[in-house]
Amino acid sequence: MLKSLLHPAAYLFALLALCGFGYLCLSLWSELRYLARRRSLRLEAQSSFAPGISILKPLRGSDRQMYESFRSHCLQDYPAYEIIFGVSSTDDDAVAEVERLQREFPERAIRLVVCPEVLGSNGKVSNLVQMMRQARYDFLLINDSDIRVLPDYLRRVVAPMADERVGLVTALYRAGSGSLASRMEAVGIATDFAGGVLCAMELDGGLRFGLGSTLAFRRKAAETIGGLEALLDYLADDHELGRMIADAGYRLALADTVVETHLPAYGFGAMFQHQLRWARTIRDLRKLSYVGTLLTFGLPWAMLAALCAAGAPWSLALVAVVALARFASGYTLAGPILGDHQALRDLWMIPARDLAGLAIWFASFTGDTIVWRGERFHLKDGKLIRA
């Protein structure tokens, strides 16, 4: 009886694995096309286009990696820029780090803005709205407090906006990590998330969303969508800012630079909850395409097919072919594209990470509640509703 059930399951899992193999081929093709385009992006970064730019960094609390990330923004090879930090209260631990930065770099235009108004469910965007009022320049850049950048970061990010049709520029990122769980998440960011971004660019005929690692945009593009106020109740404000600017008729571009973030050294439970929050966010924002991501888990489906087929030769061959494509894609992303040396060393985690990703996909349908910054919310069409 068990054998009669396992054989049909093996064939079903094999079919799903073949779908995943097709996605991996698409991912590899997208990665190679991106690498081919990157030479022209590097030529753009050498142009003389360098408008003044205001960097907006909303803060809440501090961590041991944050100050070095701040410093990297003060070491830019760029003629005119300012950095505006925003906090909700002067009691925030991040205030001391900003004051330390001001002492170390007195020649830089570094300002701290206190943002007392609560304008919507998303406190970060609420602060950004108030910070943007203080911005001096018509080109703006938002990134998270833990983002570390290279000295030519601003030049490379601003370069695509020499074309007035480009309204927003974003950037890929790699993640530093400490614990085993955070290293597994970093492997997912390098070998799965980044590939998904490149695939989406090919399938959608261009970029249609932003990434929180970098959001550089024209003030007039933001004004076209109603300002940052339009994002006040969205959780994935980075995604929505890009989508809205694209819908307003502007092009979006991916910068020829990779930034770095640092994941907390958390355990597997905290990692699972963090990934679950974002899985539910994506499920809520992109309902149909999110369902389709079930077909992208080629390696777990192939492994399940081999298990149900009791290691039949055809099933082991399927595992080998899918694994080869998965590791080839992962190597291309972590190596030539992201320059993520840690993820390259941790490629052996890919099977476990993909199995966890499949479990998170199923778990994302068990509710619409998320915990964000210590508060519980329900998600509805990407918006936050207090639980």
Instruction: Catalogue all structural domains in the chain, each as residue range(s) with its CATH number.
Output: 2-35+270-386 (no CATH), 45-267 (3.90.550.10)
Contacts of 64 (CB under 8 A, 6+ apart): none
Could you tell me if 253 and 166 are in contact, meaning their C-beta atoms sit under 8 angstroms apart?
yes
Residue pLDDT, tens place only, 156-200: 999 999 999 999 999 999 998 889 999 999 999 999 999 999 999
Pairing of β 81-87 and β 139-142:
unpaired
Strand 81-87's sheet: what is its strand order?
109-114, 81-87, 53-58, 139-142, 215-218, 166-176, 251-262
Q: Could you report how far apart the first and last alpha carbons of the chain are, in Å?
A: 46
User: What burial letters (b/e) apply to 289-324, b meaning 16+ CB within 10 Å?
Assistant: ebeebebbbbbbbbbbbbebbeeeeebeebbebbbe
Can you tell me the distance from the alpha carbon of 298 to that of 103, in angstroms, rounded to the nearest whole number? 52
Does this model's pTM top 0.85? My answer is yes
pLDDT at 148 over 80: yes
Q: What number is the average pLDDT over the span 288-315?
A: 91
Half-sphere exposure of 249 (CA within 13 A, CB side): 4
Q: What number is the average pLDDT over the span 290-313?
A: 92
**% of the chain residues with pLDDT over 70:** 95
